[in-house]
A and B are shown apart, each in its own frame.
Chain A
Amino acid sequence: MSTDAIEASGDPRFSVTAESGIWHLTMSGRWTTMRIALVDPLLRALELPQDGQAVIDCTEVEALDTAGAWLIDRTERALSQRGVSVALENIEHNQNQLLMTVRANDAECPEPPAPTNAFIALVERVGMATVQAAIEARDLLNFLGHAVIVLGRSIRHPGNVRMTSLVHHIEQAGLNALPIVGLISFLIGIVLAFQGAEQLSKFGAQIFTVNIVSQGILREMGVLLTAIMLAGRSGSAFTAQIGTMKVREEVDAMRTIGLDPMEVLVLPRIWALVISLPLLAFFANIMGLLGGAIMATVVLDVTFFQFARQLSGAVTLWTFWIGIIKAPVFGFIIGLVGCYEGMRVSGSAESVGRMTTRAVVESIFLVIVLDALFSILFAVLGV
């Protein structure tokens, strides 16, 4: 048994002598894993005799473990490969047992595969990623189709919607998001008003700050910020919840009982977002305008009353609707991607984390792409 591993006195050592044609390797000290690094390079570099007889003397070996035994075994084997007949001398019974065990287990494992050419590896990765993206797009489309069918069925038979679950998710994703969505929207209103005022004051047109704030918040920022918040807050939560259920085989258990996970898990979540996102976006609009109004009164010397009058001239009802129309679509996409990635979790807890990240990135990406498409659509329609 090794005692204090730091103690220097027991360091492993060896010496070589050649007496009357017999090559002698005398080992001493503690040949253990902790200290073996001291002798390994020396032993590796040792010049071995080409033929004749050799003796490995272990009289003074104080301790031996598998690493030490391996070194002895390796040296012994190197000698016999050169045609030297080797004898082990004075090895303790226990140490010999250990040496036998190591000797019986000295097969060499295959080398790790060599890394491929960097250029080929790059091409391979690009190709794999492309194919992967295509497969994923197809699967997501597939999931979309499935979700639409189930969604359509739920509209025809509203009794099939799990009300408890739906209300729960509306509370989680909608009601509980009110403070953070409101705060962010309020702050963005302030920022917009401040930046707008700074630029417009150069033309003496500060009052048009109200137009910038109201158009910006109602058409774009209110709904977009809400959607991004929900993607981060609820989309990821959906993936994690459904993913964890998949890992624990709860989803499989549901299927065997005859429950359709699409109906039980996915549908209430998507509905919850479709319902709460427009409501949250409305709230965000109000808070954003409020932020703008407060900033306007503080910085621009525009009274609240003036702000309201300017506002009624700056926006039409359509400005408001353009923002709100997008909200259920964004909600649908966020819910869809969140649930889709959750259903794709397989096996390990690690995959839950990976899929959650993907869900957030993908849903924010899709929300912004859709937003751009909506802009084009509205431009074409001329609203």
Chain B
Amino acid sequence: MSNTILDISGLRTQFGASVIHDNLVLKVQPGEIMGIVGGSGTGKSVLLRTILGLNKPAAGKIKMFGEDITDCPDEERRKVLRRMGVLFQDGALFSSMTVAQNIEVPLAEHTDISPELRAEISDVKINLVGLPLDAANKYPSELSGGMRKRAGLARALALDPEILFLDEPTAGLDPIGAARFDELIRELRDALGLTVMMVTHDLDSLNAICDRIAVLLDKRIKVGTMQELMADDHPWLHDYFHGPRARAAQDTVAGTENT
């Protein structure tokens, strides 16, 4: 048996008559950062939602940690759920709770940890994602977009997940904030041994931190490293990786590596 952490095979999702994915195959190895890209309407977010179980596929299998999660009893699902963390686009923090309380929700729900230790663990996570200490007692509405994302990430990390899903983590951040967030994700991956799967539009992110990239093309997925995909002659891929923005992103990375 391979040690694939996420194994999708023959996935088919459709809404009414429109088929979004057909016979889609994707394997994610432990410890890698995989980026998911694709044009608008190719179903990047749908794929993510399907993996998270928020959307029922019409056919196919999704195995996470070797467990088939498309069709398993609730108890099994809960076990899988607490081994994964999700960061939604705008953090999706519970607005009636402070940041610290938000982080403690999964801990209180899934473990018997005492309130003192919960507070201590949430302090560690707040520091880990680079939030200022006084953010702990603030409500989501008092935070900036970048801070909300960091707080959402802290909540996603609350149970020390093995796999982390990120939905457009750098969307809406300024370039400096986005670069820091990329850096943070890589650091966390290295420190905590995470596997990361991120939907993104950000070419800089893809360049800087993704080990492999999964491209949604013609209802399927094509996986490869940045170099492999750049060499591919599919017209969409060519436009994507050789457009003016892509060149600029690669130049920046090349530039920083040379200096």
Q: A66–B134 Cα gap in the complex (Å)?
A: 21
- The stretch among A54-62, A100-108, A210-218 that forms the contact with chain B is A100-108
The listed residue (A40, A101, A102) touching B113 by CB distance below 8 A is A40
Query: Are B133 and A110 touching (Cβ within 8 A)?
Result: yes
Q: Is B18 an interface residue (CB 8 A)?
A: no
Shortest distance from the beta carbon of B96 to any chain A beta carbon, whole Å: 10
Query: Are B133 and A107 touching (Cβ within 8 A)?
Result: yes
Q: Is A41 an interface residue (CB 8 A)?
A: yes
Main secondary structure of the interface of A (DSSP, over half): loop
Which residues of A are found within 8 Å of B112, using beta-carbon distances? 37
Query: Are A112 and B162 touching (Cβ within 8 A)?
Result: no
Query: Are B123 and A66 touching (Cβ within 8 A)?
Result: no
Q: A108–B137 Cα gap in the complex (Å)?
A: 12
Q: Is A383 an interface residue (CB 8 A)?
A: no
Query: Are B160 and A101 touching (Cβ within 8 A)?
Result: no
Shortest distance from the beta carbon of B150 to any chain A beta carbon, whole Å: 13
Q: A5-B82, A40-B113, A66-B192 are in contact. Are A112 and B137 (CB under 8 A)?
A: yes
Which residues of A are found within 8 Å of B82, using beta-carbon distances? 5, 34
Q: Is B124 an interface residue (CB 8 A)?
A: yes
From residue 102 to 154 of chain A, which have CB atoms closer than 8 A to chain B?
102, 105-110, 112-113
Query: Are A110 and B137 touching (Cβ within 8 A)?
Result: yes
Shortest distance from the beta carbon of B201 to any chain A beta carbon, whole Å: 22
Which residues of A are found within 8 Å of B160, using beta-carbon distances? 32-33, 65-67
Q: A94-B193, A112-B98, A112-B100 are in contact. Are A105 and B113 (CB under 8 A)?
A: no
Query: Are A2 and B83 touching (Cβ within 8 A)?
Result: yes
The listed residue (A66, A94, A110) touching B136 by CB distance below 8 A is A110
From residue 332 to 361 of chain A, which have CB atoms closer than 8 A to chain B?
347-348, 350
Q: Is B114 an interface residue (CB 8 A)?
A: yes
Query: Are B111 and A33 touching (Cβ within 8 A)?
Result: yes
Q: Is B117 an interface residue (CB 8 A)?
A: yes
Q: Is B203 an interface residue (CB 8 A)?
A: no
Q: A33–B118 Cα gap in the complex (Å)?
A: 10
Q: A70-B124, A74-B120, A348-B141 are in contact. Are A97 and B191 (CB under 8 A)?
A: yes
Q: A1-B162, A98-B191 are in contact. Are A109 and B126 (CB under 8 A)?
A: yes
Q: Is A36 an interface residue (CB 8 A)?
A: yes
Q: How large is the interface on A (under 10, 10 to 19, 20 to 34, 35 or more residues)?
A: 20 to 34
The listed residue (A33, A98, A107) touching B107 by CB distance below 8 A is A33
Query: Are B133 and A98 touching (Cβ within 8 A)?
Result: no
Which residues of A are found within 8 Å of B110, using beta-carbon distances? 34
Main secondary structure of the interface of B (DSSP, over half): helix
Query: Are A105 and B124 touching (Cβ within 8 A)?
Result: yes
From residue 121 to 174 of chain B, which have CB atoms closer than 8 A to chain A?
121-128, 133-137, 141, 157-160, 162
Shortest distance from the beta carbon of B113 to any chain A beta carbon, whole Å: 5
Shortest distance from the beta carbon of A214 to any chain B beta carbon, whole Å: 51
From residue 213 to 245 of chain A, which have CB atoms closer than 8 A to chain B?
none
Shortest distance from the beta carbon of B1 to any chain A beta carbon, whole Å: 13
Q: A40–B193 Cα gap in the complex (Å)?
A: 24
Query: Are A65 and B111 touching (Cβ within 8 A)?
Result: no
Shortest distance from the beta carbon of B22 to any chain A beta carbon, whole Å: 32
The listed residue (A1, A6, A108, A112) touching B123 by CB distance below 8 A is A108
Q: Is B234 an interface residue (CB 8 A)?
A: no
The listed residue (A6, A41, A94, A107) touching B127 by CB distance below 8 A is A107
Question: Which B residue sits closest to A37, measured CB to CB?
Answer: B112
Q: A32-B160, A33-B107, A34-B111 are in contact. Are A109 and B191 (CB under 8 A)?
A: no
Shortest distance from the beta carbon of A131 to any chain B beta carbon, whole Å: 21
Which residues of A are found within 8 Å of B53, using beta-carbon distances? none
From residue 78 to 113 of chain A, which have CB atoms closer than 8 A to chain B?
94, 97-98, 101-102, 105-110, 112-113
Query: Are A107 and B123 touching (Cβ within 8 A)?
Result: yes
Query: Are A1 and B136 touching (Cβ within 8 A)?
Result: no
Q: A94–B191 Cα gap in the complex (Å)?
A: 8
From residue 30 to 60 of chain A, which have CB atoms closer than 8 A to chain B?
32-34, 36-37, 40-41, 44
Q: A5-B79, A110-B133, A110-B136 are in contact. Are A350 and B123 (CB under 8 A)?
A: no
Query: Are A113 and B137 touching (Cβ within 8 A)?
Result: yes
Q: A350–B127 Cα gap in the complex (Å)?
A: 30
Q: Is B95 an interface residue (CB 8 A)?
A: yes
Question: Which A residue sits closest to B159, measured CB to CB?
Answer: A33
Query: Are A66 and B125 touching (Cβ within 8 A)?
Result: yes
Q: Is B30 an interface residue (CB 8 A)?
A: yes
Which residues of A are found within 8 Å of B157, using beta-carbon distances? 66
The listed residue (B98, B117, B135, B192) touching A65 by CB distance below 8 A is B192
Q: A44–B120 Cα gap in the complex (Å)?
A: 13
Q: A2–B65 Cα gap in the complex (Å)?
A: 10
Which residues of A are found within 8 Å of B123, using beta-carbon distances? 106-109
Question: Which B residue sits closest to A6, measured CB to CB?
Answer: B79
**CB-defined interface of A2-40 with B at 8 Å, one 1/0 digit per residue?**
101110000000000000000000000000111011001
Identify 29 residue pairs between A and B in the complex whose beta-carbon atoms are under 8 Å apart, listed by A's number.
A1-B30, A1-B193, A2-B83, A2-B162, A4-B79, A5-B83, A33-B111, A33-B113, A33-B121, A34-B110, A34-B111, A34-B159, A37-B113, A40-B113, A66-B125, A67-B113, A97-B190, A98-B191, A98-B192, A98-B193, A101-B128, A109-B122, A109-B133, A109-B136, A110-B133, A110-B136, A112-B136, A112-B137, A350-B95
Top 9 A-B pairs, shortest CB-CB distance: A105-B127, A109-B136, A65-B160, A37-B112, A101-B191, A37-B113, A109-B133, A112-B137, A109-B123
**8 other A-B residue contacts (CB within 8 Å) besides A33-B121, A40-B117, A112-B137:** A1-B162, A1-B193, A33-B111, A34-B82, A37-B117, A65-B160, A106-B127, A112-B100
